[in-house]
Amino acid sequence: MRLECDGMALGCNSLIELRDAIATGKVSAVDAVRAYLDRIERYNKKLFAFREVYADSALARARQVDAGESRGRALAGVPVAIKDCMCSTEGTTACSSRMLANYRSPFTATAVQKLIDAGAIVLGRTNMDEFAMGSSTEHSAFGRTLNPWNTDCVPGGSSGGSAAAVAADLCAAALGSDTGGSIRQPAALCGVIGLKPTYGRVSRYGLVAFASSLDQIGPFARTIPDAALMLSVIAGHDPLDSTSAPGNMDAFDVEQPVQNLRIGIPAQYRSDANHPAVSAAWDEAIAVYQDAGAKIVEVELPHTEYGIPVYYIVATAEASSNLARYDGVHYGHRAQNPADLIDLYCKSRSEGFGDEVKRRIMLGTYALSSGYYDAYYNRALKVRRLIKQDFDNAFFQGRGCDAILCPSTPGPAFKFGEKMDDPLAMYLNDVYTVNSNLAGNASISLPGGFVEIDGKRLPLGVQLICPAFEEAKLLRIARMHEKATGYTQHRPPLDV
């Protein structure tokens, strides 16, 4: 990464290098923030990675850092971004929806506040699929985000803005949320690292809810050490979130390889539906770990095929319940001149929600309705348990493995509009990610190489999955791949 500000180059290749340069006085926090703001000014008009930018407050915060206010803190002076579904007292928390277009939160999400307390400087909030429902960031009410590698293609979703911002060097790192792959899928399509922590590892307080039993906040970064540092800052128990796990997560050494490493390869993930380049990237990653001395073992995840239907029952049912509050009275957009209260509800929700959100609310309401609850929702919960048992068996029984290695997505980034008219085709982009959310595991997407399509390179991703609360091991295993391949050093051409 080379940041340019008024002709002065800041030679930092990672968040940690930038943090250290600021700490030692080689770079001022003000210059770092200005450098990123300059890049945002140059590129965001086309990419639309950021929905809001907080230039004045970011520079004011940077001056405080330079005055010594955050000296010694883990992220002192580091410019970061947050996804638009994370509450903050600055700006509007809109979830990229008309429903919340003017909502100003009176409080800040715990994960965001932890970044601020660690000295990070929030540059702004990133674009996303409305209410985190989507796989392409085409469902934002404010406009679509473009993929920095090829602006004809989607960046993935729903955290497409955060992924694109990190890929385009518009921030040093960013936060996203992952309900069924919304961190890992866009990370793969934009060629960056995306980490979904274990459910409960990071507080969800202040994260606008989509599906409460699946949602989890995690970081986007350019290197594994950067992702590990971000996680160590935002993780930990929060009394404001009853589902957050006890204990904090101190900084740990990701440079230490895992000894006697056993990597599981799920037979069910070998599919003719995979793009040939995805299969090749997976095979290359297997070879990388074999060369590092890992034992490769085949594992069985027999309920894999049920992941997508189970996810789209559980997630939509929870979404139906969570989004019931947006009725024009309690929260959100209020329609004008309604005939009566029922008309107010109908008009407000019809005007405020986009088509994909409406589709998922209707699916979830149907699954929870009288006469269908047992046939759909209750049965989906039972199969969800079987999916978790599959992972537990792979990790802890018989030929148990330390991590499972698989693709992040079935293909590279696709072109805008290609799947908008086929919701099922769009949903299948998450076929390799949803099961990790259903099981509550820790998982990460790593850059896995490139494929050339129409004369332009597009990144590919590979995914590692570990048992719950084993993020330290997960990141050490991921670092082994990163050091062997160097794919995280590649940057998009940004011909925008």
Which helix (DSSP H) or strand (DSSP E) does residue 472 occupy?
A: helix 471-485
Contact residues for 338 (Cβ-Cβ < 8 A; gap 6+): 344, 347, 348
Q: Could you confirm whether 83 is annotated as catalytic?
A: yes
Q: Could you confirm whether 182 is annotated as catalytic?
A: yes
> Rounded to an integer, what distance in angstroms lies between the CA atom of residue 394 and that of residue 76?
40
Contact between 162 and 81 under an 8 Å Cβ cutoff? The reply is yes
Q: What does the chain come to in residues?
A: 496
DSSP string over 132-165:
G--SSS---TT-PPPBTTBTTB---SSSHHHHHH
The CA-CA-CA angle for residues 318, 320, 323, to 5°, reads 100
> Rounded to an integer, what distance in angstroms lies between the CA atom of residue 487 and that of residue 459?
9
Q: Could you confirm whether 483 is annotated as catalytic?
A: no
Candidates 159, 182, 232, 445; catalytic one: 182
Candidates 70, 158, 203, 244; catalytic one: 158
Strand partners for 464:
405, 444
> Rounded to an integer, what distance in angstroms lies between the CA atom of residue 338 and that of residue 361?
22
Candidates 14, 28, 70, 83; catalytic one: 83
> Rounded to an integer, what distance in angstroms lies between the CA atom of residue 157 and that of residue 442?
19
Identify the CA nearest to 15 among candidates 30, 3, 4, 25.
3
> Rounded to an integer, what distance in angstroms lies between the CA atom of residue 482 and that of residue 285?
10
Give the residue numbers marked as catalytic.
83, 158, 182
